[in-house]
Amino acid sequence: MLARLFVIFGGLFVLVLCAALVVPYFVDWTGYRAQFEREASAILGRKVTVQGDATARLLPFPSVTFSNVAVAGGPNGQSAMTVETFSMDAELAPFLRGEVLIFDMRLVRPKATIDIANDGTVDWAMRPSSPFDLNQISIEKLTVTEGQVELRHAAGGRSHLFSEINSTISAKSLAGPWRMDGTLRLDGLRTTVTASTGKAEGNGQMRLRLKADPDAYPLVIETDGNAGIVNGAAAYSGQFKISSSDKNGADENSAELRGTDGETVKVSAGKPDPSFRLNGKFSLDHQKLGVDEFRFETGRLDNPYTADGKASVDLGLKPSFAIEANGAQVQFDEAVGAQAGAGLTLDQRIAAFEQALLDLPKPTIPGTVEVKLPAVVVGDTTVRDVHLSAEPVDGGWSVKSLAATLPGRTKLEADGMLVLNLEGHFGFNGSLLLAVAQPSGFAAWLSKDVDEAIRRLPAAGFKAKVDLSQKRQAFSDLELILGKAKFSGRIDSSQPDDAKPSVLMRLEGDDLDVDGLAAFASIFVSDKGANRFADRDLDFQIKAGPVNAGGLTADTVDTALRLRDGLLEIDRLSVGGLAGASISATGRIKDFPASPTGKLDASVVAVDLKPLIDVAAQHYPDSAVLKGLASRAAAYPELFQ
C-alpha cells in the first residue's frame, strides 16, 4: 500500500519538483523560487509554495534545496502535503543532453494527505498530464526521513496513518521500474516494507510487488500483481503469499565449529521451511478486499498438508471480514504439542495451547471464521473432525461452536467467550463438554501421572458451564461421569494473589461402585499415596447412593470434609442403610494421607446390629473382636436389638 501511494499517487509529485527545476527549457536560475512554484503548481494542478529558505547552484552539479514546501488542496484550506526540507543533486552531463539523472534526493519529514472518495477516486490521481518525457528522468537514490501519509477513506468513514516512514527509493525512469526499501508504522504497527514496480503501461497499469514484515507477528506478507488508476479510482489485484517467520530463532539451525587455526566458524544447516504458508488470488479496491481462493499449507514443502478456502473484507462504513476454510489435513509441528513421542504433561499442554492462542492475530473489525477440517496434526497429537465457528469481539473471540475429536476417542464441544487479555493470559467463559470413550488412551496422551483407576474406567467425561482463567477455574451446572457413576454440582478452584489456593466441591450422585469410587478417590489422592491438594485448601461435600464397595452396600453416603495442610476435618460423615444400620461420625485426622492419626467420634444406630456385625465379620475374618461379636450374636439373636 505504501509503495503504491508514493510511487503511483504521490511519487510523481516528488518527481515533478525536480523536473520543474532542471528541465532546461523552462528553468530560470535567477528566479528559481518563483519559477519553481509556478511550474510545479501547473504540473500538479495545485498551488505549490516555498515558505522557507531556497538555495540552488548549477556547478559543479545542479543542486537545489527548499525548506517548508507546501502543496495546497487539503481540507478547510489546509495543505495537502508539506515537506520540511526538499533537496536534490543531479548529474551535469545528462543534464546537458536534455536528460535528468538525480543521483541523490532527500525528503525530510514529508507529510501528505490522500483522499479516497466514496466512488474510489483518488485526489492525487486527478492532475494534468506532464509536459515532460518521463523516460528521460531517473532517480538513483531518494531518501525519505520521518515521512507521514494520512489515507482518508470516505467509503469506510475512517483514516489510516502511515507514520515514521524511513525509506530509500530509486527509479530507472519516472515511468518505472521503481524500488523502495524501508520501514514504517501502519496505524502504529511497525513494519519492514520492500516494494518494486514494473514500467507504467499505456492502459494506466503498473506491475507492483510488495513485501511486508510486521514486527508484532511471526509472518511475512508478499503480493505480486497489477496496480493502476481506472477512471480516477485505484485498484490492485494479483497473487499473494503469507508465510511464517521465526523472528527470534534465526540461529537455531546454525552451529560453531573450530577450524584448524583455532578460530570458530559458524555453519548452518540452511533456512528451515516455513511452518505454514498461505497463498492465493486477491483483488483490492476502495470497497472490498476479496480472496476468491486460497490454500493453507503446513508441513514439508514437497508434501504439504493443505486446506482450501476463501475470504473477504468489506471496507465500507461497517467493516467486516469472512473466512471459510476446509481441507484434508493441516499440521502444526511447532505450535501446541511437541515432537512425536515427547509425552508432555497436562500443564505443559495447557501452557502451549495458551501461548498459541495469544500469538494469534487480533482482528480489529467484526467478522466470521468458519473452519471444517478432518484432521489437524499438532506436534505429537492428531485432532480429528475439527469444526469451528467464531467471531472476534473486544478482548477475544466469541466461539459460536467448537467441536473436535481428541485422542482416546474423546469428543470436545464448546461455545462461549474466549478472552485474550493484555496481561498475556487467556480465559474462557461458556459451555464445555468433554466425553471420553477410551479413558486409557486419553490419559496416556493427556498426562504422565494419571492414576490407573482412571485408566480402567470404561468411560468418563463432564459437561458444565465454565469460567476458566489463570486465577480461577469454576465449573457450575456440572455433570460428571466416572464409569457408571454420575455426579452433578459444582467445582470452584481459585488461586488469589493474597491468599492460599483453594478448591470447593459440591457434588451429588447416584450409584457408585468400587471402580467409580477408586476413580473418584484418585482425584484427591494419587495411587502412590500423595495428596493432590497439598498446596491448597479443600472444602468438599458429596452425597451419593447406593454405594457399593468391597461387597458392602450403603443406601446413602453424605460427607462434608475440609483439608488444610494435611489436616483432614470431618464435619459430617453419614452412612445410611448399611446392613440396616446408620453410621455418623465427626473427627480430625492429622498427616493425611501419608501417616494419618487422629480422633473420630462415631455413632451407630440400628434396630438390630446383628446384620452389620455379620457383614463386618465376613469381610474382616482376622478381627478377633468382630469374630467374638458375631459368635455372641449367633448364640443370642436378640442381644443387639
Look at 7-16, 156-165, 505-514, 543-552 and tell me which has the smallest mean pLDDT: 7-16
**Residue bearing cell 472444602:** 539
Taking the C-alpha atoms of residue 217 and residue 497, their distance in angstroms, rounded to an integer, is: 31
pLDDT score, position 11: 41
147 and 109 in contact (C-beta within 8 Å)? yes
- 377 phi and psi, to 5 degrees? -95, 120
- The values of phi and psi at residue 53, to 5°, are -75, 155
Asked if residues 37 and 28 have their Cβ atoms less than 8 Å apart, the reply is no
Q: Specify the pLDDT at position 33.
A: 76
Mean pLDDT across the chain, nearest whole number? 82
- In sequence order, which residues have a C-beta less than 8 Å from that of residue 137 and are 6 or more positions away? 15, 18, 19, 99, 100, 102, 173, 174
Which has more confidence, 326 or 34? 326
pLDDT in tens, 490-540: 999 999 888 899 999 999 998 887 777 777 777 777 767 677 777 889 999
Cα–Cα distance for residue pair 137/148, rounded to 1 Å? 25
What is the model's pLDDT at position 629? 85
Mean pLDDT of 396-422: 91
CA dist 404 and 381 (Å) reads 12
**Contact yes or no for 633/640 (Cβ under 8 A):** yes
Predicted TM-score (pTM) of the model is 0.73
| DSSP calls for 168-228 | EEEESSTTS-EEEEEEEEETTEEEEEEEEE-PPPTTSEEEEEEEEEETTSSEEEEEEEEEE
% the chain with pLDDT above 90:
39
Does the structure show a pLDDT above 90 at 432?
yes
pLDDT, tens digit (0-9, with 9 covering 90-100), for 73-103: 877 778 888 999 988 887 766 655 667 778 8
| pLDDT value at 394 more than 60 | yes
Q: Which helix (H) or strand (E) holds 439?
A: helix 439-446
The two beta strands, 472-482 and 460-468, are antiparallel
Q: Which three cell numbers stand for residue 255?
A: 552451529
Fill in the amino acid letter for 262: G
pLDDT value at residue 46: 80
Peptide bond into 60 cis (omega under 30): yes
Give tens-digit pLDDT for 219-272.
999 999 999 888 888 899 999 999 988 766 544 555 555 555 555 555 555 566
Model pLDDT, residue 183:
97
pLDDT in tens, 474-488: 999 999 998 888 999
At position 637, the amino acid (one-letter code) is P
Give the model's confidence band at 467: pLDDT under 50 very low, under 70 low, under 90 confident, else very high.
Answer: very high
Q: Is the peptide bond before 637 cis (omega within 30 degrees of 0)?
A: no
Highest average pLDDT, of 155-164, 328-337, 588-597, comes from 155-164
Question: CB of 575 within 8 A of CB of 582?
Answer: yes
What burial class does residue 151 get, using C-beta atoms within 10 Å of its C-beta: 0-12 exposed, 13-18 middle, 19+ buried? buried
Give residue 134's pLDDT: 72
> 3-state SS of 496-550?
CCCCCCEEEEEEEECCECHHHHHHHHCCCECCCCCECCCCCEEEEEEEECCEEEC
Considering only residues 357 and 627, tell me which one the structure prediction assigns the higher pLDDT. 627
